[in-house]
Structure 1
Amino acid sequence: MSCDNLEKALEQIPYAKLLGVQVSLQAGQPQFYLPYAEHNIGNILLPALHGGVIGGFLENAAVLHLMWARESAGIPRIVDFSIDFLRSGKPLDLYGQCEIVRQGKRVANVLMTAWQDDRSKPVAMARAHFLLN
């Protein structure tokens, strides 16, 4: 699946569209990007990105990464999702990358990482299992 096809798939996911998720290819792999938007702030006192925004961003990134890796238009269905919030998401742009740990015929295991200004200091890391179509 090309980057153009990933962008078209993003347009079909209402939550990704609401958040403003974008994708580009970096070193031959999809890298996901969430530009800062005030409506994505959860705690206005810090301010910090809403945890649901970060989790939704990573979940959408994993789904799209699997579609890209499998060159499939079939949307993988999530079986389980676990996220570790490592530090507050500042009011900055958010980046994400995924790694398929294992992919069988029916199930895939994906690791996701989100960071902001320093890739070595992730904001969150998640892992999920997906049922493949």
Structure 2
Amino acid sequence: MSEPSISLPFDELTRAIQARRSIYGAISGLRLDRAAPGEAWASLPYRPVFVGDSETGVLHGGVVTAMLDESCGMAVQLALDGTRAIATLDLRIDYQKPATPGLDIKAHSICYRVTRLIAFVRATAYQESEDDPVATATACFMIDANRTNMLIDRAEAIATALPTLDAPDDPAGPFADSPFARCLGIQVGADDTLVMPFSRKIIGNPILPAIHGGITGAFLETTAIVGVTRELGIRARPKPIGLTINYLRSGRALDSHARVSVVKQGRRVVAFEAQAWQDDSAKPIASAFGHFMLRQTPDLEEG
């Protein structure tokens, strides 16, 4: 028998969505500051654990990816009735400029079209002005992605104490200068792979449970940075330009593995593909295609 339909006044729906978000979204400190039907304004306070490069203090690109994924999801729920489970189908991030260290990140997401099964969203991440974005995004979400009721089921699922986001010191490890990668527990595995252990802090839907789509994107981006740097033999970390993530299966309560391959190498830009899987590499949970900007070197052909 199906769950009864719930129809809340919009103000109550907004409060319910704010209270019953993903576990990662809750512990990251992401706030829903303002809402309208199909539209969300959110903010993420700056925290040292979000840093991707300790030398510069710049946020990890995956932090922006996860924030945009979460805020886009809130916009979709604000276009619906809040009860229907949604899942990200694809997410494209275009990085406009590095986030200024020490400043909060804000996001404005608009669900501009909803069909019977698919919702379409666009979003902007910024700091001081929406006209000067850090990143922009477009995304598609599946509606009724599973049988969970987001207003009835979720409260019990997150009743236990929430984990915290911390970055254990590892001065000799491969991510000594990347607090966010250490926060996610990312490790170097065998055969040029990276491994992200499952933990409660990376959960998106706590009812299933399922890994947060934005965190899967952050894992793929980290894998791409490490793999491209290693394969090209460069010392300077490449700068993300754009990343498109396709979500193929739900990330279950299992460790995730990822590998990257270089598709095209030029003097200034490199194109890459990455895949993430869990217990079977032939059944990826997500794939990503993107571009990095490289520091110009004389031995690389112009792309």
TM-score w.r.t. length of structure 2: 0.40
- 1:19 corresponds to 2:181: no
Amino acid at match of 2:210: A
Q: Name the amino acid aligned to 2:293.
A: L
Q: Deviations over 1:76-97 (max 9, x none)?
A: 0001000000010001000000
Matched residues in 2 for 1:114 and 1:85: separation?
A: 10
The one-letter amino acid of 1:21's match is I
Note the C-alpha offset of 1:9: 4.1
Which range moves more in the overlay, 7-16 or 92-101? 7-16
- Alignment match, 1:70: 232
Match of residue 49 from structure 2: none
Q: How far apart are residue 131 of structure 1 and its match?
A: 0.1
Which of the two has greater strand per residue?
1
| Rg (Cα) greater in structure | 2
Residue in 2 that maps onto 1:4? none
Q: How does 1:28-43 map to 2 (within 5 A)?
A: 30-43=192-205
- Structure 2 unaligned blocks of 5 or more: 1-171, 296-303
- Taking the aligned partners of 1:8 and 1:109, their CA distance within structure 2 comes to 27
Structure 1-normalised TM-score? Answer: 0.89
Structure 2: how far apart are the matches of 1:44 and 1:25? 30
| Offset, 1:25 | 4.0
In structure 2, what is the Cα distance between the partners aligned to 1:125 and 1:51? Answer: 12
Match of 2:220 among 55, 58, 63: 58
Q: Over residues 105-131 of structure 1, what are the superposed CA-to-partner deviations in whole Å (9 max), with x where a residue is unaligned?
A: 110001000000111110000011000
Q: Which runs of 4+ in 1 moved over 6 A?
A: none
Letter in 2 for 1:15: F
Higher RCO (CA < 8 A, seq sep 6+): 1
Task: Please state whether the residue corresponding to 1:45 is helix, strand or coil.
Answer: coil
Of 273, 290, 294, which residue of structure 2 is paired with 1:111? Answer: 273
Residue segments in structure 1 that go unaligned for 5+ positions in a row: 1-6
Q: How many residues align?
A: 124
